[in-house]
Structure 1
Amino acid sequence: MLPYALYTARQVRELDRLTLQTLAIDGYTLMCKAGQAAFATVRTQWPKARRLSILCGPGNNGGDGYVLARLALAVGFEVRVLEWGPPERLPEAASQARKAWHEAGGKAHDDLHTALAGADLVVDALLGTGLQRPVSGLLAQWIEAINQSSCPVFALDVPSGLDADQGAVLGTAVKANLTLSFIALKPGLFTAEGQAHSGTVLWDGLGAPPEVYTALPPYAQRLDRQRLADFLTPRVASAHKGHFGHVLAIGGAPGMSGAVRLCAEAAARAGAGLVSVATHPDHAALIAQACPELMSHGIVRSAELAPLLKRATVIAMGPGLGQDRWSRMLWEQALASHLPMVVDADALNLLAQQPIRRDSWILTPHPGEAARLLGETDARAVQAARFTAAERIAARYGGVCVLKGSGTLITDGPQRWLCSAGNPGMASGGMGDVLTGLITGLLAQGRRLTASACAGVCLHASAADQAAAAGMQGLLASDVLTQVRGVISGAALQSLRTPP
């Protein structure tokens, strides 16, 4: 089972130092532990592999590769090692590892294509967490050759070219089938381009004692389906709908009725006691007909929205809202209510046009919306530094920011969470509307902002993973809704079995 604590590359270097100090060992001994863990992974994950091509870089990541090469050579594997960078510049521990490999009979190859030809497995031990700038030149050509090879790729610690902290690709990056992370998990493995380049992620702590980790607070916490039990509890027998809040979903301009309907139904599926919809009169009746549990109201004038706001506990604002005069009227009146709010879609675009700060809302931008909130050029600027972007949004606008995408991030500023659940099938219309509804439905039941955001993101991704069992392509937002109740029930039962 993977740890939930995530540490930056800089923090991991400190964890390395603390491990050496606590265990009273030198760097080469710890490097040998990493090489042994890597070789054990080769034997369990690729049991038929006998021909290894190992690309070793100029740092300690390369040293891990040399240890793996020596161990494989000792039991009869055919091992081809390619060296990047001058050997005389290797750190002391990596230099020892290279020397031990040579003394065991190892020889370096100087032609990349010859070394890759016929391999059963390519091992990336080029850069690890030591990347300081975009990859270019011959090293970039090496990485592209790895990616174009037909055999599986095993990355040690972090795929070369991937930012260990933010998950951005710096120039180009290895696309691994499996990554073995040492000492601690790095956040970049799970967000932005991280999951696409890391493949399956495994972890080995290399014997670091528990006190090493308690000495250094994690940069972020990982969320997955197992963590839902931390946020959801079974209902008591005497519960009634008044205990679980009243959500008002506002949105649905002409032609966009589906967005607000998905949002409102998701709030109900998350367990809100009552859900009302304030939408355009053109389709208020259609929403009520499609889902009779929703109390749907057509709104023309602000006076018609006032009684709905008075009854509501929380607001889901933005799905299908638009940005015309009608949309702005609803937005301004919702703001004036000062109710807790989950803000999405066009409500975020309206907020970007006239920024204000509130501590009682959750903002749920995708990268494009985040760029507008921050005044960035485009979504690529956000994706290059996702944690930084989410923290800046929370600092500028207050409350909690949920930055959607592969490896959705949640932050209230001081604290950060990353959801490693979810799948590419979620790249379809309406998924964000469902997420907004789930978060709002959980918030209506009395949870704090951060807990509601974390639980909603985790619930959404877990339900999508369950729905994707029938296939990712063609996965619809409404398919996710059908799985929500089962996921919540399972998490609530798990919380009963978990000792306090």
Structure 2
Amino acid sequence: MNNTLLYTSQQIYQIEQDWFKAGNPSFGLMQQASWQMAIWINKNISYKNACIWTGSGNNGGDGWLLAHYLCQFGWQVTVVEVAEPTTEDSKHAKQIALKARCQTIKWHKEMMKESAVFSANVHIDALFGIGLDREPMGDYATAIAQVNQLTSLPDKTAIAVDIPSGLVSSTGQVFNGVAICADITLCLLASKLGLFIKDGKDYAGQVVTLPLIPLPTSSKIKPTAIRLMQAYPILSRLSNSHKGSFGHVLVVGGNKTEFANGMGGASILAATGAFAVGAGKVSVACHADYHNAVLASKPNAMVVDLHNPKALEPLFAQTDVVAIGMGLGREQQVQSLFVKSVEYAMQANCKLVIDADGLYHLASLKLESNELVEKIKIYAANQFVAFTPHTGEMARLLGISNKQIEDNRTAAVDQAVAQFGGHWLLKGAGSMVYEDAQMYVCDVGNAGMATAGMGDVLAGILAGLQAQHHLTSTQKSLRQAVLIHGQAGDALAKKVGAYGMQTDYMEIEIIKIMADLSAI
């Protein structure tokens, strides 16, 4: 598995301070960082002329030393000084570069007219480091716009030192689009969380981590998250098996009310996901008007009338996993149906996946101080319960704004765990998964998956994996479901592109992913 530890800027500062307290000089670390970057750039970039844009802090100092080392490799280098160095290490680095006769230009607003700047094939961003947590302003903002304009031209490459200037390293946030849009980010010391979530996925480009020094053990500074890139291999099935060997999933959704036609397709998509990963049996509890549609799409599924309690209630005792909420509806009269279904599931000791409209009703119950919320939290301490919201659903669950969620997604997940217990998936660019007291970031998937029904399929995948008793806890985990879903989306994007992706195309790709995982 190619999983990477991810840290916040505060954790990186602590790692650095511990290194310095052990007697290691700060300027020595700057030299090590710049030398390793120079080696990587010289080896991997074919063009040998560069502009290095420097700011006032130690990130700028990295840039000055990088200029010095690239010149030693025979590169033609121009340093564009956007701001004078202000730290002792950055001042020292500048003096070294000047003594080596590195070419320098003081930044000005007509920078793009400078021939050395316009003709450079490589532009290296050393303006801001990981301490920035606001929008760059003034000359910095103008310089960032100039770099982005230059590197949008053919045969130009933008390389960021440690993190693209303007990107918040702990949250992945960019304010008003003011950030370097890097082709490559040379991430120093350890991988930063913000490079792999939210705007970081659009601004960081290819991330290359240069470790520099030994990282502390996780018991001393535990990483904020673990980056996930590849699903886990899956155990082969025993020949002496039958459909009951691989579990029974009950999908509760696909409703229709007098005020809305509903979303019958949501329950079909969830059933599709469950079957695609190998669930032995899948039942769909939906409105009777959708039964024919379910059976036409999935003739191997069983159907039951969502509004017939005599038929529905006994089904829970035969079920391993209940996935509830996909197309369930948000009308007030549906809330009692949600409550009863969850209570039936808990009485039968079923695993629970709560998604979509199920999360809506859970948030309403929390506002009403309904005892079911606490019951679910207690239940989740001993049985698998997963919540799978997007940003808007998470905001409603926590009673805060979408902006507050996006300002710090890790904090939002931590807050949700404290309030509701269980396992959590916060969907988005770099979906965040919390399970087994660990945060994960999914680094597969693509923007083409931002289409209706993708979440329904994912809920079905998770339920289908959880139903299979022979799989290990890792092989049927929430993060495994997210990875399979994302890898299937990436495989589909290669075939149809981001604009042509449709949710019902996902089934065959999921099946292929499962076949590959079980064949490893």
User: By the TM > 0.5 criterion, same fold?
Assistant: yes
Structure 2 residue matching 1:401: 3-state secondary structure: strand
Residue 99 (structure 1) aligned with residue 95 (structure 2)? yes
Give the counterpart letter for 1:6 in structure 2.
L
> Matches of 1:265 and 1:55 in 2, distance apart?
51
Task: Give every structure 1 segment of 4 or more consecutive aligned residues whose post-TM-superposition deviation is greater than 6 Å.
Answer: none
Equivalent residue number for residue 15 of structure 1: 15
Identify the range of structure 1 (115-124 vs 98-107) with the bigger mean alpha-carbon deviation: 115-124
Equivalent residue number for residue 365 of structure 1: 389
Contact 1:400 1:449 in 2 (8 A): no
Give runs of aligned pairs for residues 215-364 of structure 1, distance below 5 A: 215-225=220-230, 227-229=231-233, 232-253=234-255, 254-324=261-331, 327-337=334-344, 338=346, 339-355=350-366, 356-357=373-374, 358=376, 359=380, 360-364=384-388
Equivalent residue number for residue 123 of structure 1: 124
Residue 456 (structure 1) aligned with residue 481 (structure 2)? yes
Give the counterpart letter for 1:128 in structure 2.
G
Give the alignment partner of residue 186 of structure 1, picking from 188, 192, 199. Answer: 192
After superposition, the C-alpha distances for 1:215-264 in whole angstroms (9 at most, x for unaligned) are 53222111111x423xx322233333223221100111244121110101
> Matches of 1:182 and 1:276 in 2, distance apart?
50
Structure 2 residue matching 1:492: 3-state secondary structure: helix
Report the CA distance between 1:283 and its aligned residue: 1.2
> Matches of 1:173 and 1:482 in 2, distance apart?
39
Q: 1:304 to 1:324 in 2, by over 3 A?
A: farther
Structure 2 residue matching 1:283: 3-state secondary structure: helix
> Matches of 1:298 and 1:327 in 2, distance apart?
14
Structure 2 residue matching 1:173: 3-state secondary structure: coil
> Matches of 2:119 and 2:302 in 1, distance apart?
65
Equivalent residue number for residue 475 of structure 1: 501
Contact 2:262 2:329 in 1 (8 A): no
Give the alignment partner of residue 204 of structure 1, picking from 200, 210, 220. Answer: 210
Equivalent residue number for residue 421 of structure 1: 444
Q: 1:96 to 1:213 in 2, by over 3 A?
A: farther
Contact 2:15 2:216 in 1 (8 A): no
> Matches of 1:200 and 1:138 in 2, distance apart?
27
Q: 1:389 to 1:419 in 2, by over 3 A?
A: same
Q: 1:212 to 1:391 in 2, by over 3 A?
A: closer
- Scaled by the length of structure 1, what TM-score is found? 0.91
Structure 1 residue matching 2:278: 3-state secondary structure: coil
Q: 1:2 to 1:305 in 2, by over 3 A?
A: closer
Give the counterpart letter for 2:192 in structure 1.
K
Give runs of aligned pairs for residues 134-153 of structure 1, distance below 5 A: 134-149=135-150, 150=153, 151-153=156-158
> Matches of 2:396 and 2:41 in 1, distance apart?
45
Report the CA distance between 1:381 and its aligned residue: 2.8
> Matches of 1:312 and 1:75 in 2, distance apart?
66
Equivalent residue number for residue 459 of structure 2: 436
Contact 1:18 1:212 in 2 (8 A): no
Structure 2 residue matching 1:155: 3-state secondary structure: strand
Give the counterpart letter for 1:26 in structure 2.
P
Identify the range of structure 1 (10-19 vs 139-148) with the bigger mean alpha-carbon deviation: 10-19
Give the counterpart letter for 2:14 in structure 1.
E
Contact 1:400 1:450 in 2 (8 A): no
Report the CA distance between 1:204 and its aligned residue: 1.2
Equivalent residue number for residue 165 of structure 1: 170
> Matches of 1:332 and 1:454 in 2, distance apart?
27
> Matches of 1:396 and 1:413 in 2, distance apart?
16
> Matches of 2:232 and 2:448 in 1, distance apart?
21
- Scaled by the length of structure 2, what TM-score is found? 0.87
Residue 398 (structure 1) aligned with residue 421 (structure 2)? yes
> Matches of 1:371 and 1:153 in 2, distance apart?
36
> Matches of 1:450 and 1:324 in 2, distance apart?
36
Report the CA distance between 1:326 and its aligned residue: 5.8
Contact 2:330 2:357 in 1 (8 A): yes
Report the CA distance between 1:434 and its aligned residue: 0.8
> Matches of 2:242 and 2:97 in 1, distance apart?
69
Contact 1:192 1:386 in 2 (8 A): no
Report the CA distance between 1:139 and its aligned residue: 1.4
Report the CA distance between 1:325 and its aligned residue: 5.3
Give the counterpart letter for 1:346 in structure 2.
D
> Matches of 2:515 and 2:16 in 1, distance apart?
41
Report the CA distance between 1:20 and its aligned residue: 5.4
Report the CA distance between 1:101 and its aligned residue: 0.5
Equivalent residue number for residue 85 of structure 1: 83
Contact 2:250 2:285 in 1 (8 A): yes
Give runs of aligned pairs for residues 103-114 of structure 1, distance below 5 A: 103-110=99-106, 111=108, 112-113=111-112, 114=114
Contact 2:5 2:223 in 1 (8 A): yes
- Matched residues, number: 485
Equivalent residue number for residue 497 of structure 1: none
Report the CA distance between 1:449 and its aligned residue: 9.4
Structure 1 residue matching 2:477: 3-state secondary structure: helix
Give the counterpart letter for 1:68 in structure 2.
L
After superposition, the C-alpha distances for 1:450-473 in whole angstroms (9 at most, x for unaligned) are 962111111111111112221222
Contact 1:160 1:173 in 2 (8 A): yes
> Matches of 2:129 and 2:119 in 1, distance apart?
25
Equivalent residue number for residue 369 of structure 2: none
Equivalent residue number for residue 370 of structure 2: none
Equivalent residue number for residue 498 of structure 1: none
> Matches of 2:64 and 2:487 in 1, distance apart?
39
Contact 2:445 2:489 in 1 (8 A): yes
RMSD, aligned α-carbons: 2.3
Contact 1:179 1:202 in 2 (8 A): yes
Could you list the runs of 5+ residues in structure 2 that have no partner in the other structure? 256-260, 367-372
Structure 1 residue matching 2:78: 3-state secondary structure: strand
> Matches of 1:138 and 1:413 in 2, distance apart?
46
Contact 1:15 1:213 in 2 (8 A): no
Identify the range of structure 1 (124-133 vs 428-437) with the bigger mean alpha-carbon deviation: 124-133
Give the counterpart letter for 1:8 in structure 2.
T
Equivalent residue number for residue 40 of structure 1: 39
Residue 376 (structure 1) aligned with residue 383 (structure 2)? no
Percent identity over the alignment?
Answer: 33
> Matches of 2:443 and 2:420 in 1, distance apart?
25
> Matches of 2:3 and 2:477 in 1, distance apart?
22
Q: 1:60 to 1:234 in 2, by over 3 A?
A: farther
